[in-house]
Amino acid sequence: MDGKKLRKRKWLFPAAVLVLIIAAVIVDYILELRLPVPFSMIPLAAAGGYVTVSAIGAAAALKKITAGMLVVLALIGCIFVGEYLSGAIVAFMMIFGEFLEDLTMEKTRGAVGELLSLVPRTCRKQEDGVWKEVSIREARPGDLIRVIPGERIPVDGVIVKGSASLNEASITGESIPADKTAGDRVFVGSLSENGAIEIKTEKIGSDTLLGKIVSTVHDAQENKGRAQRTADTFAAFFLPAIVFICVLVWIFTGDIIRVMSVLVIACPCALVLATPTAVIAAVGNAAKRGILIKGGTAIEAMAKITVICMDKTGTLTEGKPKVTDFTVFGGISREEAAYVLAAAEQSSQHPVGRAVMEYLRTEGLLPEELPQGEFEVLFGRGVKMCREDCVLLVCNGAGLLEAGISDEEALSYLEEREEEGQTAMIISENGRAFGGVSVSDTLRKNSRNVVRELKDTGCSRIVMLTGDNKKTAESICRKTGIKEFHAGLLPQEKLEFLKGLQEKGERVMMIGDGINDAPALAAADVGVAMGAAGTDVAVEAADMALMSDCIELLPAGMALCRRTYRIILENIIVFAFIVNIAGITLSSMGFLNPVAAALIHNASSIFVVMNSSRLLAWRPRKGGRTEYAWRKEDSSGDHQAPESPDRL
């Protein structure tokens, strides 16, 4: 059943009850007809029966007495004193309030529906050498899928043939189409703007990146922060407390109407809704723009951050270094040094290693055949390959010191290149330096603005942590406006630095690429992974994951979390505690009857949901770079596709 039909059906029952209540007012109070049974008992039986069954069902499912039982007690009291119309109106207000809450909650879940609508119903699958259009449910890992211009990618996989320009805004939030060719990864929901490609399927359904985004949004309500856990605990003790207050009111006043009014207004519905409605709205807003936020715990932690720690490579810089110099020592030929360099770096997946191999390939220095051996990553220092009695090493100054190499020409080369703010490494075989290679990464053009806007969110202390040399770190910090940095750190040392801050009472956020920094991301109060699309490690380790490398989304995501936390506090303090306490006091004093109590109670719940739903349309402040990044998704092109809410 689609959303429109569901909403239409939900309208029917409260509308019917309202008609019966109006008829009861006319029959019993205007015409004053004397019937065998007061007409007011009909809407009371219909609405009261529904509320009673719902409350008992909820209590049975949870195996405990719920707050809804307070309303049941109030309805019993109305019947006892003959206030049938009041009881009907109380029950109607509960039903109508529930309808409005469901309607608004459905709106907050609209982000999930939009994401699901991006999944194609069918795909072109190769069977026995022939392309056949089949249901997406028939796709399996390993299948070959063909996508033509104008179609959306139906699976996560790798292109094996062809090239295309893909709009990945639904996944990464990046509106500029990405050119993809053989060997590149693609994600379900991406739109092919031109070019035909053949994809080898890796993941389908809920295992895809889009499936994980949807799952994160669904799970957001279950991942509760401390504020929600406190509210849940309070609600558990609320019922006995209210019953005790009702007993006191009865003892001191003997007025059953006052007791019923207390029972009606005291239901902690607003308290129960305060956090999950805000969390779902915020997570849904962010998910549409390529940001995954893992529920209330992450949002609350983000709102309390006092120190931001940032990796350099892939975070402040593009993470796409290029070789700026290749020098040989002691009469060694460039070909011989290139052979050792390529042999050591051939298995490296680090951006520096890939940049080196690309440089050798471009310069025609990459040997046709390379020796194989035992490859080892020296985290924060370089790489090493061992074969038989030969040790090939490409490393920085720390790696040279560890290996016991003290070649003056090599040390001079490192010092000269690092003074220029470059990352320099020495090429050696069995302790003999063959040459040096230097690489330089490109600073993201908006890094300085991002650092400024992160400070504007309320966190003034930003620290850069990098395994690179001090000179390079100084150069990057000077360009971005970061005042504090720590260079030459191994992954374990980054972790120790974070723990040291936490021991001093700081709330720490760590921003990294999600792979090399996974330990630090997991240990931080909030871990943020950059460019996490297709990286399972990043999605698992981080509390917030930016699907693209668009760093401009970071301060906007942080501002959204802080705004969400403020709205949660507004919901709990204003609409839950203050309204309830004032309502209970006024009801006890006789200023509110059950009908007025029902109106105020449902109004507070509705205001909570409406207050939370504002987060669906939240945007960063006008004029900032983050506002531009946040709005890119809104102009990213066609996002419409046939609805398919059950395919993930």
Residue-wise pLDDT tens digits, 440-485:
888 888 889 889 988 888 888 999 998 777 888 888 898 899 999 9
SS3 label, residue 152: strand
442: its two tokens = 């490109």
Please indicate whether residue 311 is annotated as part of the active site. yes
49, 42 contact by CB (below 8 A): no
- Superfamily (CATH H level) for 322-440: Calcium-transporting ATPase, cytoplasmic domain N (3.40.1110.10)
Give the Cβ contact number of residue 607 at 10 Å: 16
Mode of pairing for the β-strands spanning 122-127 and 144-147: antiparallel
Those residues with Cβ within 8 angstroms of residue 257's Cβ, 6 or more apart along the chain or in another chain: 81, 83, 590, 593, 594
CATH topology of domain 120-153+156-203: 2.70.150
Residue-level pLDDT at 640: 35
Q: How far apart are CA 618 and CA 637, in angstroms?
A: 20
Check if the beta carbon of residue 399 is closer than 8 Å to that of residue 468: no
Contact call for residues 438 and 323 (beta carbons, < 8 A): yes
Q: What is the mean pLDDT of residues 403-428?
A: 87
pLDDT in tens, 302-358: 989 999 999 887 788 877 788 989 999 988 899 989 999 999 998 887 778 888 999
Question: According to the model, what pLDDT value does residue 212 have?
Answer: 65
pLDDT tens track for 358-389: 999 999 988 888 888 899 888 778 899 998 87
**Of 311, 441, 513, 525, which one is the catalytic site residue?**
311
Ordered strands of the 432-440 beta sheet: 322-328, 432-440, 423-429, 390-395, 382-387, 374-378
- 642 has pLDDT over 50: no
- CATH 3.40.1110.10 residue ranges for the chain: 322-440
The pLDDT of residue 645 is: 32
C-alpha to C-alpha distance for 244 and 509, rounded to whole angstroms: 45
pLDDT band at 643; cut points 50, 70, 90: very low
Q: Going along 270-347, which residue ranges are E strands? A: 291-293, 307-311, 322-328
Does residue 553 contact residue 453 with C-beta atoms inside 8 Å?
no
Higher-confidence position of 224 and 138 = 138
Residue with tokens 């040790």: 391
393 has a pLDDT exceeding 70: yes
Q: Where, residue-wise, is CATH 2.70.150.10 in the chain?
A: 120-153+156-203
